Amino acid sequence: MVINLMKFRTKVLFGIMIITIISLITASIFSWKIMNENNVNILNYGSIYYERTMRRDILCLMMAYPEYILDVKKSENGNVFIVMKSGKQILYDDGREKSYNERIHNGDLQDMLEEIYPLWYTDSIMDKNNDPGRVRVYSLLEEVYGSSKEQVVSNLENVYAGGRAIPFNNNNKAAQSLKKALQEIYELTRERGEIYSYVFPINGSFNYRVIAGTNLLSPHSFGIAIDLKSDNRDYWKWATKEQGQERLDSYPREVVKIFEENNFIWGGKWSYFDILHFEYRPEIIIKSKYFVENHEMIEPWYYGFPEDEEVLRYINLIENAIN
Ligand SMILES: [Zn+2]
């Protein structure tokens, strides 16, 4: 009996050893295969995703600011920069892990583009700290729209709608895009009269000021944001989340869609909701429009982007700079 039990234990142990060895061999073969297929070490998988995202982000930026971003540069220590028309270089990623507040106050291009703005219908106020587009890179905005009040003012043009003049930045097609959006909305109100009262009277556009409670310039300071007709449930500081939700439920999404199609993001898709606020941010809309899930698994890295002459030129610049 004792002998049999020992034999049985030996057999079990032997069996476990065999299974372990077979598992180890299978795992090695499997990871070797993945490494070969992707031509990379499996440990660098995260970095492939990062490298791809960086190229795609820079392409979005070049498409969004075609007259202002002229080139891409990689420094000897591996930092990647976009090169502006003025010659100024803006760093893509400072490599620092940041809290939500740090991203808002000191975000870089990578932070700005990290969160995907939902181009689809959203039926509720976003969860806490989900605020796509709320991170802004001020050095970029200053380069494109003006780096002082005087400079911004000199770039303003009046767009006329609802019986009043709306000053908006003329650079990078901002005023032109606002004009087109408001025209489309005006046409919509001819069929859907009730929409008019959600848009007009327009509450404001250019206003050189800091965001309440911060030392950050509001996007209104650059003449790239417009507040439509105001309601006291529109802003997270004025209203509870429930009141904001109520307002969101009633808000005509046709208006939102028209603005988004013209490269504006909507503050109704932020946890720090700002429902009357629309902001011209072509890089955020372009990133969402051409975003591909698991893009790091697909060749070429610019999969999903339109391959017209301009875009191919940017792709070349990016490939030459980052290899
Ligand atoms: Zn606003």
Residue pLDDT, tens place only, 92-121? 999 999 999 999 999 999 999 999 999 999
Residues 246, 306, single domain; the answer is no
Q: Are residues 33 and 58 both part of a single domain?
A: no
Least Cα distance to 179 among 162, 193, 196 occurs for: 162
Q: How far is the CA of 276 from the centre of ligand 1 (A)?
A: 7
Do 88 and 141 share a domain, yes or no? no
In this predicted structure, what is the pLDDT of residue 181? 98
**Residues 8 and 76 grouped into a single domain:** no
Greater confidence, 289 or 213? Answer: 289
Overall average pLDDT of the 212-230 stretch: 95
3-class secondary structure per residue, 81-108: EEEECCCCEEECCCCCCCCHHHHHHHCC
Q: Please, what is the angle between helix 253-261 and helix 174-191, to 10°?
A: 150
pLDDT tens for 153-163 read 999 999 999 88
Q: Tell how far the Cα of 250 is from the centroid of ligand 1, in angstroms.
A: 19
Question: Ligand 1 centre from 210 Cα, in Å?
Answer: 11
- How many angstroms separate the alpha carbon of residue 278 from the centre of ligand 1? 7
- pTM as predicted: 0.85
pLDDT in tens, 265-310: 999 999 999 999 999 999 999 999 999 999 989 999 999 999 999 9
In a domain, 108, yes or no: no
What is the model's pLDDT at position 31? 55
| pLDDT for res 42 | 34
Q: Is the peptide bond before 201 cis (omega within 30 degrees of 0)?
A: yes
Whether residue 26 is predicted with pLDDT greater than 60 in this model: the reply is yes
Residue 227 bridge partners (DSSP): 204, 277
Find the 259 Cα to ligand 1 centroid distance in Å.
Answer: 14
| CA atoms of 300 and 309, how far apart (whole Å) | 17
Rounded average pLDDT over 224-244: 96
**192 and 277 inside one domain:** yes
Over residues 120-147, the mean pLDDT reads 96
Asked if 271 and 216 sit in the same domain, the reply is: yes
**Could you tell me if residue 173 is inside a domain?**
yes
Same domain assignment for residues 207 and 318:
no
For 62-84, write each residue's pLDDT tens digit: 999 999 999 999 999 999 999 99
And the tokens for 292?
């591909």
Residue 12 lies in a domain: yes
CA of 223 to the centre of ligand 1 (A): 10
323: containing domain: 44-92+295-323
Bridging pattern class, strands 69-74 and 80-84: antiparallel
Residues 7 and 83 in one domain: no
pLDDT attached to residue 20: 78
pLDDT tens track for 30-58: 555 444 444 333 334 448 999 999 999 99
Distance 167 CA to ligand 1 centre (A): 14
Expressed in angstroms and rounded, the spacing between residue 264 Cα and the centre of ligand 1 is 12
The reply to whether 156 and 231 lie within a common domain is yes
Q: What total of structural domains would you count in the chain?
A: 3
CA of 303 to the centre of ligand 1 (A): 35
Amino acid at 35: M
Residue 268 shares a structural domain with residue 303: no
Pair (171, 282) in one structural domain: yes
170 and 74 within one domain: no
173/220 Cα distance (integer angstroms): 16
Whether 11 maps to a domain, the answer reads yes
CA-CA distance, 279 to 257, in Å (whole number)?
13
In a domain, 101, yes or no: no
Residue 121 is assigned to a structural domain of this protein: yes
